Structure 1
């Protein structure tokens, strides 16, 4: 009779390395023919059916691309439902800016507010004003205008970073929009 070995998997800290377990991990493969990615996005095979396809994220997006939430509703019902959803989800959309931000109306994040301060603009500045201020500030300290000036190069990078933060925020707003 073999002597039982003592397990090293007790208490804290773990005495064996992470990932050294011997159990096999079950990975479901995407149900799309020819795809070998992990299928972790369930999709119904038919309306009101418990059966599911399991797709990778790419094929799940393709599967859902033609799906119409308002199918079968007339225009008035579709408009009413869209407004109700907009109203019910408005709090979630607005709350993303309130996380750890400082003062303001909540329409800009703390990073955007710091970027606006860097460019010397108010919180209500539109993107044309942002672009104009960035160009003016960047022209003053551009490395081609002040070659060899390390402080000017550092300032130029700060202006560039501020512009990038504001540009990405503007792109997100237009995309949601």
Structure 2
């Protein structure tokens, strides 16, 4: 135990424990009404605003669950903002190949994920949902329904390729299992 007037840091300020001083530590409480937890998670009060709410982890998760970054933008503005954000943040995506998993839980390949996006399905969709979505979409753009429409034919071909990718993956899973 050091003498009462002596410092505990031996000349190095970071060697002492944080908040080891005698003064009261500043603690900000959660901004959610009635919550007494420590508010250490910042959340924006409005899009593109520097003002922040400070929530505890529970209320921050609740706040972010339905947060829409692109709220109030039309489709073209959403795409432009998403493209600019991807280009500005490209340096952070540089080392993605070092990650352990890809999209989702790792049970689907990147090709399968793209095929699910084409069919507008979630990553955990089963093959019955894939078949149902393919048939519903294929009926609207089938060359027999829209003869001579090159856009519809291209869309039908894209849907067919997506379905074939997912069907082959399902057959591989059944064969292994």
TM-score tier, shorter chain, comes to: 0.3 to 0.5
Give the structure-1-normalised TM-score.
0.41
TM-score normalised by L of structure 2: 0.41
